[in-house]
A and B are shown apart, each in its own frame.
Chain A
């Protein structure tokens, strides 16, 4: 063994010993990154997940991010383009080849609510919430390929491994329920850990995934109330005996950490054990929908043929948010409609329409919508010209996302794409701007929310990002 000549100073050993369970272990990361820590003074040194004060008054306290993988067509959902309809069948000037004809939306749009926001007939229930939606029509991103764009949407970078939006939010604000992870990803796609990851931020900030892949709790969990959480209880030991065992495991882990001197992964592991232990009590209850009324289940479309799966997720999202989880992310897939637009897009819309409308209604009546930011977004949009007669291609130059609640303006349209919906021309919002705005709603200044790594301060927005102050309510 080497002499421990380069031990971090003072009381680390003492700190280690003083912690028996619960939060506080990551004190360590703090010491290894004093500089970074110094800049985020709001953070109490001993508890990386404790609620932290935002940089300024937050409009939103928590986030529910509805991630639509595959890139839904903005032109057939939220971005009404009458000119495109008029020019239907004309050669598309955007495609390099003139053989791709413009494709007006096959669906009709109508104005809804007092705001008169345009929503397509594919989303009738969500249209009822028109006055809650803040629709961003000027979105654009860098790459028209799914994997890169999805990664960029989540982390700001499609090239490098960077912490995800959820991890940054948690790092910035901590969480309000010590017995649950602060960042929860429900039904995430397999793989793609990076999109929920913490990269160089401490491991405790990464998203805990539930119901991953379609296997265990996912696809076929119909009917009954309880969603399975694998391994949630010990078949042999009661709580007291298990605590004894866990104390011993943690003693071993701390021993290893002392020998290694600095090992963020082991710190993460220690934290993760404590969290897991506490989750055993809270999580089964939280994921059990048995105490929800029939009316509520219906509101979300739980047990509905098309809506059950996403309805459950939306309902769980509300339950997690209510329980104090800072960032909940839901995934809904199969939006990549190169073909069969006229059959597949309505099917996808039907799967999400009621669940999301139900979520907004439910948050509203529980008085949670004011400070819960609901975000709906695909990784990019789709082209105004058709593809193969009944489809649309990828379009990263202009697309639409929306937010609701959380202190943004409801019934509001911000930005615009050109009359055919191809390229953002007004109120342009790059992913960096979008991230900056989301952090702003959470009371975080994207330029101040930094973490020191490899000798420099990193931000979610790199050196970019403009808050779209027009949308603030």
Chain B
């Protein structure tokens, strides 16, 4: 199958549709018609409320050509040749009860007919636009001198004094920097610690005591072979994708709700989450991974499965936070595009292009026109993000239907449930229609009274709140019906991108204001990047996302590979070679090892953008296998460890902390759940239909599958600095606050994991000594020292005794268990568990 079918499209949002033709191209006939039939009507009936010289009701200006095309808060007033899309037509015919203009009295019939003819003839409008073009003061040529805009060059391998230390080229670069700063690398770390480190880094999960034993035994035979084999095993584990996919989800600001004021759910966002995890597990080449996310819907595909995956990938662009209560559709559309530019540029290019929305970028050579060149690409696309147009959600749109239905529908309705929904819908629709009628009668009457033509009786005013409520109910019920197939099974829907029927060129907006359009700019890319000239320009009949994706992933793009290898480096070494992972521009930080960065970027591309290959090489280095031992002298010289004189100790991230608490007690559910808690809830607003408690439901699968509702992350994630999905996250922040200590001491989840571990200890070991040893093996991956063991046993005894005193009615068994449970929890609350050395 190789055709692209139009997907289920129920309702499109109104978007920019500037006339393509020039005002000077208006024919004499058109001019004549406008001047004699249209302008006088507008002047008499409309300008009073919709003119830049008088009032600008609803953001609509009708006394200029641009204003007319551009429209007001509700959308384009006039789309040449298209009656149905022209709000002006809807308004003057009073065909939409909520948009009846002029409000007090319909236009004369012949005027309405003239407007019809005029729109159909292409809405010729001879009025001249007088916006001054926005020019740039940036010299892009000069800007290209900045390091990150130049292509990486294959560096010469540096010479080092200590020639026996490096086991790889990467080590040579690191060592050379250390030596030139009179620093030495640390010794290599021991087998147990190394296993713990690499297991956490690659899968996010601790090795089991059995794995440790086997590894240590193999290590005694041939350390290198044992390690290599272990690394391969970890890379092949399905947990690899859960760990590394999550790193990308941080960058992709993945979330299952819109955030901002309304914060309504995205019940289908989880598909993108699973797509990302699978992509990492499949070692999808990074360039392909990016192309799919930017232009998956446009890529050639082998079969339905391929198509399915590519569509889901474009969810990347649909996932951003959205102010769905925005009244002005143009503002909303522009904000949406802006967010897409922002996410794409920071995530993939490490640049903040969105800074150029209102004026040239203040620090980087990115002129405003470049911003709008890219904006045109996104404006030529439709972002399907779903949600329900109800309440103050004014901007909902439809989702896409997937070519392959879910084997197991996310949700199913019984015949009775469906019938009930239909009945309620009918009732609601009727009440709504009645309320609208009442509202109209009242308005007309009021107008007549003002004109002194009132007759006696008055109509009771409709309650506007009631109207709003009814409309919401109708919308919600309809959405529920539309979301299921004829059998009552939830349709397999997805958030994602499609091209608009005809691409548009964006107008530069003066200071970013949607009602201040200046000149149009052709769609294109960033002029400062050297390969822009050779890139294929966006085609005339498609949005240009395809070409944009190719431009992003071109091997001549100096940023894409560098930015990604830096992210991977940062995950493994605690800090990027460029410390500002999302900013490779002038306000970012310069690389500590520029040659190494280039070496890795080139190598990454040569190895077909394979993430697993890169990670395998990085964890094999001697640099990675260093101990994390503290060195006073080195610390004085380089306290940030920017030069890597040791492996830095790192705190477990929020997900790993929770996952491993579950793991050690044997409670972790290693399987992927279908969908997510948010998918189960369906369309809902956080804090209204979706109660906060619902998201805290106890589940035992991995944390990457926990619900990610914006501004409402589960406590276990939020407290330990999980990425805020309102922005492209560069690196996890590490806070150290008493709230975390309170959580580890008092939270029922943590207490329960301590108990689970205690039960396991009782189950698997006989004596107190054995239990303590086993606990150390499970939680710390090592044996306790003699003192540690003695101290632990002593703690358990003393605690049990004290507990008996306080709880005299409790049995000896109860207190012994409590003691063991608090001992187990103590291990989970301790620094050694929370940190990887």
Contact = CB atoms under 8 A, between A and B. Distances in A.
Interface of A: 2, 6, 8, 32, 95-97, 99-100, 143-145, 148, 158-160, 181, 190-191, 193-194, 197, 200, 203, 206-210, 212-216, 219-220, 229-238, 240-242, 244-246, 248-249, 251-253, 255-257, 260-263, 265-266, 268-270, 272-273, 275-277, 279-280, 339, 387-389, 393, 453-455
B628 to A, nearest CB: 8
B142 interface: no
Contacts of B132: 97, 99
B711 interface: yes
B789 interface: no
B802 A235 contact: no
27 contacts: A96-B359, A144-B362, A193-B733, A210-B739, A220-B687, A229-B742, A232-B742, A237-B822, A240-B802, A241-B802, A244-B798, A245-B799, A248-B792, A249-B745, A252-B832, A256-B830, A256-B831, A261-B630, A262-B635, A263-B649, A265-B651, A265-B734, A269-B741, A269-B834, A280-B742, A388-B515, A389-B515
Given A32-B635, A261-B630, A241 B806 contact: yes
A139 B800 CA distance: 62
Given A240-B806, A253-B831, A269-B834, A215 B791 contact: no
B639 A200 contact: yes
Interface stretch (B119-127, B150-158, B422-430, B718-726): B718-726
A42 B132 CA distance: 62
Nearest to A245: B822
Contacts of A273: 738, 741, 745
Given A265-B651, A265-B835, 6 more contacts: A245-B799, A245-B822, A245-B826, A249-B826, A276-B738, A388-B515
Given A248-B823, A252-B831, A269-B736, A235 B748 contact: yes
B802 A197 contact: no
Q: Which of B187, B746, B823 has the largest number of chain A CB atoms within 10 A?
A: B746
B343 to A, nearest CB: 15
A17 to B, nearest CB: 13
A270 B831 CA distance: 9
- 4 closest A-B pairs (Cβ-Cβ)? A191-B724, A276-B741, A276-B738, A193-B733
B736 A191 contact: no
B742 A231 contact: yes
B788 interface: yes
B463 interface: no
Interface in B361-376: 362
A129 to B, nearest CB: 31
Contacts of B829: 249
Contacts of B636: 455
B687 A6 contact: no
Contacts of A453: 639
B353 interface: no
Given A97-B510, A190-B711, A235-B751, A245 B825 contact: yes
Contacts of B721: 193
B635 A393 contact: no
Contacts of A32: 632, 635
A232 B746 contact: yes
A275 B741 contact: yes
B390 to A, nearest CB: 21
Nearest to A257: B831
A197 B837 contact: no
Nearest to A196: B735
Q: Which of B510, B788, B832 has the largest number of chain A CB atoms within 10 A?
A: B832
Contacts of B638: 454
B692 interface: yes
A194 to B, nearest CB: 7
A387 B511 CA distance: 8
A181 B739 CA distance: 11
Contacts of A191: 724, 726-727, 733
B670 interface: no
B631 interface: yes
Q: Which of B740, B742, B823 has the largest number of chain A CB atoms within 10 A?
A: B742
A231 B743 contact: yes
Contact of B788 (A96, A200, A220, A255): A255
Contacts of B649: 260, 263, 265
Given A96-B359, A240-B806, A453-B639, A260 B736 contact: no
A444 to B, nearest CB: 24
Nearest to A96: B359
Contacts of A6: 630-633
A272 B823 contact: no
B724 A276 contact: no
B508 to A, nearest CB: 11
Nearest to A100: B511
B27 interface: no
B26 interface: no
Contacts of A265: 649, 651, 734, 736, 831, 835
Contacts of A249: 745, 826, 829-830
B359 to A, nearest CB: 7
B639 A454 contact: yes
A96 B739 CA distance: 48
Contact of B187 (A2, A244, A393): A2
Contact of B743 (A148, A212, A230, A242): A230
B640 to A, nearest CB: 6
B587 interface: yes
B131 interface: yes
Contacts of A148: 587
B149 to A, nearest CB: 19
A238 B810 CA distance: 15
B630 A208 contact: no
B788 to A, nearest CB: 7
Nearest to A232: B742
B712 A213 contact: yes
Contacts of B639: 200, 453-454
Contacts of A270: 831
A203 B736 contact: yes
Contact of A213 (B651, B711, B742): B711
A242 B727 CA distance: 39
Contact of B791 (A8, A236, A244, A251): A251
B513 A215 contact: no
Q: Which of A8, A96, A197, A242 has the largest number of chain B CB atoms within 10 A?
A: A96
Given A208-B738, A272-B737, A273-B741, A262 B632 contact: yes
B14 to A, nearest CB: 19
A113 B331 CA distance: 43
Nearest to B742: A231
B147 to A, nearest CB: 16
B811 to A, nearest CB: 16
B695 to A, nearest CB: 9
B138 interface: no
B745 A234 contact: yes
Contacts of B799: 241, 244-245, 248
A209 B719 CA distance: 10
Contacts of A242: 745
A276 B719 CA distance: 14
A393 B511 contact: yes
A69 to B, nearest CB: 13
A32 to B, nearest CB: 7
Contact of B630 (A235, A263, A388, A454): A263
A3 to B, nearest CB: 10
A136 to B, nearest CB: 25
Given A99-B516, A234-B746, A266-B835, A206 B735 contact: yes
Interface string B699-716: 000000000000111010
Interface string B541-554: 00000000000000
Contact of A260 (B713, B745, B837): B837
Interface in B739-774: 739-743, 745-748, 751
B738 A279 contact: yes
Contacts of A194: 733
